[in-house]
Structure 1
Amino acid sequence: MKKITVGGVPEHYNYPWKLTTRNEEFKDLFDEVVWKDYPSGTGAMCQDLRASELDVAIILTEGVTRDILNGNDSRILQVYVDSPLIWGVHTGSQNNFEKPYTLEGKKIAISRFNSGSHLMSYVYADQMGWTLTEDDFVVVNDLQGAVDSLQKGETHYFLWEKFTTKPRVDSGELKMIDECPTPWPCFVIVVKNEVYNKYKVEIDLMIKRVKEKAEKVYQDDDLISNVSKEFGLLQEDVILWHHNLRWNTENTPISMDELEKPIQFLRALNMIPDQGKEEMKKQLLGNEKLRI
């Protein structure tokens, strides 16, 4: 049986993927396409790609770039979201942190190492002029774990996509005291090499259909209400998110130029091996001549 498992965070960005899999729009390509939610994010997806428990991932650019360059046998196919992810800098509602500078030297909650919450903490620290070490982080697994940890005072702040956490802010569980946009396209589409070698034509067609769906639903009059219901967000928050959203609807391979910023960031932190551009290109994009 031709079965493929696709995974991503259970967030609004993945609405086109959820629609197409739910509507069985790939049944001529595969006998079964399974969508798998990853509430704990990029680190968990990287782990499952390595373990061959996940075939295709809609995943944060910086996290998967690091993991592939450190031995994950997968490749980046295309950009999925061109617009930056806006990370909220959150703290527990009961504490006295009100200004970003008060967070210097405090404990940071992360879903796991190599996750977006981990790597973007370094981006934020760089913007603030701080230096971090691995001892600054506490693994809390997911958003609920972060809420619990912050409320208990075990950790002091946590970075997560701001619209996903907005209901927690509105309820008083969290407060957001700053924002940190991703300085590169935020989500890419990644596939296990062995899976792509086996199902290249089918996977390319699957991605093409998802991007066509994204282009269509972006202009759909019902998008705001549908996303609001699907992900439990207020309509006014979905409107704000939609205003800045740019799904990548071009069915073109990613290039090394598009990965230059995250590579420079990871290299500066000594998170990737020291190697030349051609070697990195082979690892990140595969060996196809079409990839430039």
Structure 2
Amino acid sequence: MPLRIGYVREHFSSPLLHFAAVDEGKTFTLVECPSGTGQLISRLTNDEIDVAIALTDALISGIANGSKAYKLVGSFVSTPLNWAVISGKDAKFQAISDLEGTTIGISRPGSGSQTMSYVMALQQGWSTENLKFRVNNDIRGLINSVNDGSTSAFMWEWFTTKPFVDAGEVKFIGSVPTPWPSWLIAAHPTRAQAEEVRGFLQGLTKYIRVFDSPDSRETANVKFIETNFGYLAEDIKAWLKTVAYPEQCLEIPRKVVTDTLSVLEKAGVVKAPEGGFVVEDFVETKVAKLA
């Protein structure tokens, strides 16, 4: 039975889409999760997918907070994610500092949009205990919420939301880059067979190397993203200057786990057990190598 790979259909996933087009469902099928990492984690928990390509912070915080539904098996994007802070087109909020004490829109509990709200609060010096959230499921729900006034702002990846800003639906009021590499890969520790997952990650590495090559970045990548996602060429080129992928998907730097946990603990998202966190508890070492 092919592996069920959960993913978010965004420009970051371009190497995965190239791989899927060639594989044609022989070894894996794609399961789109438009609501983001919270939905990916939910589907892992509910046996709806076997593998998830999801945001680093939410995956790590889930394990730190006791989830047994998955372990980390690989790396996907090695650069930070630039989270835009977005408010309504006519809203009074003009800067991140205006948001203190207001209700922030999130896609789902445990999502990157929620985790990064804690990081934003930490950077601003706000109490993370007083943050208020409203669940709005997906990008359309989030946009509606900032325009009807039920939330003050929400956080989403910059280039994904830029078309909505260009169309005048919402406005940017700031940004918060992640203090960690943005995407990791997780799998259910018992349902997903280690050799199958390893084979998938080896194949994905090959397509990442092609996508990440200088020639592809100059021509093929721009055309592919323009065709499949409808972004402006100038925005695609700007994003390609900021993004990097790992040399090997099957390696997870130990520092990624420890540094992410450190920030999440300061933000109040996770609490270390007595004696501290053990990195090996987060990684399926039958699949991935801790580098």
Report the TM-score when normalising by structure 1. Answer: 0.91
Contact 1:87 1:181 in 2 (8 A): yes
Q: List gaps (5 residues or longer) in structure 2.
A: none
Letter in 1 for 2:9: P
1:230 paired to 2:225 = no
Equivalent residue number for residue 248 of structure 2 = 250
Contact 1:68 1:284 in 2 (8 A): yes
Closer, same or farther: CA 56–47 of 1 in aligned 2, 3 Å = same
Equivalent residue number for residue 73 of structure 1 = 69
Equivalent residue number for residue 15 of structure 2 = 16
Distance 2:275 2:47 in 1: 28
Letter in 2 for 1:262: T
Contact 2:85 2:155 in 1 (8 A): yes
Aligned pair count? Answer: 284
RMSD: 1.9
Closer, same or farther: CA 159–270 of 1 in aligned 2, 3 Å = closer
Letter in 2 for 1:130: W
Task: Spell out the pairing of 1:56-205 with structure 2 (5 A cutoff).
Answer: 56-69=51-64, 70-133=66-129, 136-196=132-192, 198=193, 200-205=194-199
Offset of 1:272 from its aligned partner?
A: 4.1
Report the TM-score when normalising by structure 2. Answer: 0.91
Offset of 1:22 from its aligned partner?
A: 2.2
Q: Report the 3-state secondary structure (helix = DSSP H, G, I; strand = E; otherwise coil) of the residue aligned with 2:262.
A: helix
Distance 2:127 2:249 in 1: 39
Name which of structure 1's ranges 100-109 and 261-270 shifts more when overlaid on structure 2.
261-270
Cα displacement string for residues 80-117 of structure 1 (whole angstroms, at most 9, x for unaligned residues): 10110000000001112222221221110000111000
Closer, same or farther: CA 275–43 of 1 in aligned 2, 3 Å = farther
Query: Which portions of structure 1, spanning 4 or more consecutive aligned residues, are displaced by more than 6 angstroms?
Result: none
Contact 1:66 1:272 in 2 (8 A): no
Cα displacement string for residues 40-80 of structure 1 (whole angstroms, at most 9, x for unaligned residues): 11111111111111101101111011112312331111221
Offset of 1:23 from its aligned partner?
A: 2.1
Letter in 2 for 1:201: E
Equivalent residue number for residue 204 of structure 2 = 210
Offset of 1:253 from its aligned partner?
A: 2.3
Distance 2:169 2:81 in 1: 22
Contact 1:140 1:146 in 2 (8 A): yes
Q: Report the 3-state secondary structure (helix = DSSP H, G, I; strand = E; otherwise coil) of the residue aligned with 2:241.
A: helix
Cα displacement string for residues 4-35 of structure 1 (whole angstroms, at most 9, x for unaligned residues): 110111111111111211222673xx3xx211
Distance 2:249 2:96 in 1: 40
